[in-house]
Chain A
Amino acid sequence: MTDVEALYTANHDRLFRYFCRAVGHIDDARELTQDVFVRVSRSAIPTGPEGARRGWLFQIARNLALDYRRSRHRRPHLEALTDHPLRPASQDTSAQVNEALAALSDLERDVFLMREVAGLGYDDIASACGLTADAVRNRIHRTRLQLRLLLSGEIAARRAAPMRRTGRDL
């Protein structure tokens, strides 16, 4: 298995999940995930521990997400979720989440998503976003408090159902 293949296998799902929430659109998330690996295949992959390589990969992903937002010049778009007036409740929640994420700064949103949706550690996020691990810890907590207010209704509804600490059982 080549380095690119190994990186793809280990990180494809994480990147796709990150892009889903970072850009708010599944098809674009798929394309951006592929774009990351196109760039990786043209680059010299850094040597070092897995975490450092993951940080580098997400640095590329973050740049692509920022480019996407600038080029589209809009917030994570919601039309895919609002086309259907009778859409299921889960998509209602998803639209609310996208709206709340759009209210955050780019850095807050990316730090939060890399941790909460892509499952990166503080060190990897610090490497991807050019921060210290302490700054990441602080930002993630502040962003959580902000989202707790913005998504209070969705959180209250979710509290009524069984939960796991990992949150990956949905």
Chain B
Amino acid sequence: MNDTHEVISAFLDDEPFDAGELARTLSDPSGRALLIDLIALRHVVQPEAMVAPSRPEGRSPWRPLLAAAAMVVALVGGYFIGDARNAIDRAEPPAPSRVVQANDWQALPVGGGR
């Protein structure tokens, strides 16, 4: 590798460079490999991996989907339960099986008649 490869850095950095020199450098396989490696290096050193919160280990990526599914089940289940209760409320009351006559209720002794 020779010093002319420095032109690759200037090219990558949007700094002024000699186009002829860059062309000569990129005609060499080692120059082309260096260009790709330096682009990859640029990606590797970015601090995003440090800054971005990582997903805790052991937590399934399906977790949000499962939570959404549970919510749908709860809503649909709640609807059907509510509907069933309405149906019960609308039903006729049961016919009386026994009728209690209360004709003598006023004759009970004062203070309770146990």
Contacts and interface: CB of A to CB of B under 8 A. Distances in A.
A154 interface: yes
A137 B49 contact: no
B92 interface: no
A88 B54 CA distance: 7
B44 A115 contact: no
Contact of A147 (B41, B54, B57): B41
The list of the 4 closest CB pairs from A to B, nearest first, reads: A167-B42, A20-B47, A90-B49, A141-B9
Given A90-B54, A93-B49, A159-B37, A170 B43 contact: yes
A154 B37 CA distance: 10
B42 A81 contact: no
A137 B39 CA distance: 16
Interface stretch (A1-9, A64-72, A116-124): A116-124
Contacts of B104: none
Contact of B41 (A88, A121, A148, A166): A148
Nearest to B57: A86
A163 interface: yes
Given A93-B49, A137-B6, A141-B5, A163 B43 contact: yes
Given A117-B46, A147-B45, A155 B54 contact: no
Contacts of A144: 9, 38, 41
A138 interface: yes
Contact of B40 (A116, A117, A158): A158
Contacts of A163: 39-40, 43
Interface stretch (B10-18, B70-78, B80-88, B93-101): B10-18
A122 B14 CA distance: 10
Interface of A: 17, 20-21, 26, 81, 84, 86-88, 90-91, 93-94, 97, 101, 113, 115-117, 121-122, 137-138, 140-141, 144-145, 147-148, 151, 154-156, 158-159, 163, 165-170
Given A93-B49, A154-B44, 6 more contacts: A88-B54, A90-B54, A137-B9, A140-B9, A158-B44, A165-B39
Interface string B1-32: 10001101110111100000000000000000
Given A26-B51, A91-B54, A148 B46 contact: no
Contact of B42 (A17, A116, A141): A116
A75 to B, nearest CB: 15
Contact of A170 (B10, B36, B46, B55): B46
Contacts of B41: 116, 144, 147-148, 151, 155, 158
